Amino acid sequence: MASAEAQQRAPGRASAVLRVVGALIATLPAALLAAVCVARWLPGDAELRLMLGLTLAIPLWLFAMCRAFLVRNGVRVWLWCGAAALVFGGLAYGMTS
């Protein structure tokens, strides 16, 4: 009986670990690339845009971490963060300053 309970809890623990690690690590590239997109989109000189983009990166990362903890499945966290990083990376690479 204890073995059956352990097997039922194992996927839940793995998903929880994936969700926590994804919230802490996978959200950083997406938040940084989103800040780069905002910094490249803003008008003004390069120093001001860089300062605003770097200042905005930390609140965006915190927001992304909070949102990632609301997701029920750890794999979804990684998929959403990977998709967001690809989209923001493409936008940052494709934008002209």
State residue 72's pLDDT score: 83
How far, in Å, CA of 44 to CA of 27, rounded? 28
* Rounded CA separation 69/71 (Å): 5
pLDDT digit string, tens, across residues 54-96:
899 999 999 999 998 888 888 889 999 999 999 999 998 887 6
Write down the H helix ranges in 1-97: 2-21, 27-41, 46-70, 74-94
**In contact, 18 and 55? CB cutoff 8 Å:** no
pLDDT per residue over 21-41, tens digit each? 989 999 999 999 999 999 888
